[in-house]
């Protein structure tokens, strides 16, 4: 599959909500698979695709953790040697686990209220699965899921608090932007004065932009607190899912002892 074909593949309807950086990750993953002579795209190739660029949310987070493309390639090659007898026109497709990772990434974005799927969501999809080669590689280099998730969230908050704003942009013109996420709330006079000061200083153009800037800055400043909250919420979600599964199992099983006599 040629580069232009891979670009078309990553821009299919299934990936229309993916940011440009997330789409490049898919293209990079296929290139990494081909470079190794693998006829499939697994979670390990997705992981390599995520660290090909260190300016994305995922790439910057992994770089901060010391997991670079060189480290990743060595780790993958150590357990999955390169193949040499692969046809040059080989088309690599996603493995079932890689497809599950993409589905979990979409779910992560939805659960977080995001209208796009960025590189951070692909990372969360890998971590949410908890299994697969990518998770094994990360564990082998001493990176556990909680530490990775925390770092990704920290980088994301920092990028949103900076002048970069929403650094991973959705290319699709049909995709709702962050401007659709509107909140209405009251400010005290001192708080409004801060908002107007940011506008006067040229940091922001409108009161809405200034308020959003302050929210992002507050999240970044209280990063440790929000990471603890996020971890707690993740535990709550896991317990809720377990409870729902148990309830479903309980009520789906026939209760023969409660049946009336024939």
What is the full per-residue pLDDT of the chain (262 aa) written as tens digits?
A: 444 445 554 555 467 789 999 999 999 999 999 888 888 999 999 999 999 998 999 999 999 999 999 999 999 999 888 776 666 566 568 999 999 999 999 999 998 888 889 999 999 999 998 888 999 999 999 999 999 999 999 988 887 766 444 456 554 434 444 445 666 678 888 888 888 887 777 776 777 777 887 888 888 778 788 888 888 888 898 888 888 888 877 777 655 555 455 4
The confidence score (pLDDT) of residue 52 equals 95
Q: Retrieve residue 47's tokens.
A: 């992981």
Compute the distance between CA of residue 224 and CA of residue 231 in angstroms, rounded to an integer: 11
Phi, psi of 19 (to 5 degrees): -70, 165
Nearest to 108 by CA among 42, 18, 221: 18
What does 152-194 look like in DSSP terms, one character per residue? HHHHHHHHHHSTT-S-S-B--TTS--GGG--------HHHHHH
pTM of the model: 0.60
The confidence score (pLDDT) of residue 197 equals 85
The confidence score (pLDDT) of residue 176 equals 45
């Amino acid at each position: 599959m040629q580069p232009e074909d891979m670009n078309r593949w990553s821009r299919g309807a299934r990936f229309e909500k993916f940011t440009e950086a997330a789409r490049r990750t898919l293209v990079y993953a296929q290139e990494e698979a081909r470079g190794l002579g693998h006829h499939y795209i697994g979670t390990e190739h997705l992981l390599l695709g995520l660290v090909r660029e260190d300016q994305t949310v995922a790439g910057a987070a992994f770089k901060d953790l010391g997991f670079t493309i060189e480290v990743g390639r060595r780790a993958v090659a150590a357990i999955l040697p390169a193949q040499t007898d692969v046809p040059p026109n080989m088309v690599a497709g996603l493995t079932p686990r890689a497809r599950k990772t993409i589905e979990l990434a979409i779910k992560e974005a939805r659960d977080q209220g995001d209208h796009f799927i960025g590189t951070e969501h692909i990372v969360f999809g890998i971590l949410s699965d908890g299994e697969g080669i990518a998770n094994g590689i990360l564990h082998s280099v001493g990176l556990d899921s909680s530490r990775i998730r925390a770092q990704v969230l920290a980088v994301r908050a920092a990028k949103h608090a900076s002048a970069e704003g929403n650094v991973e942009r959705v290319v699709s013109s049909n995709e709702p932007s962050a401007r659709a996420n509107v909140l209405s709330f009251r400010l005290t006079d001192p708080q409004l004065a801060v908002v107007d000061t940011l506008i006067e200083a040229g940091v922001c153009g409108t009161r809405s932009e200034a308020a959003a800037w302050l929210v992002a800055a507050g999240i970044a400043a209280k990063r440790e607190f929000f990471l603890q909250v996020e971890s707690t919420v993740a535990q709550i979600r896991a317990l809720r899912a377990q409870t729902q599964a148990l309830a479903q199992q309980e009520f789906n099983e026939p209760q023969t002892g409660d049946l009336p006599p024939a």
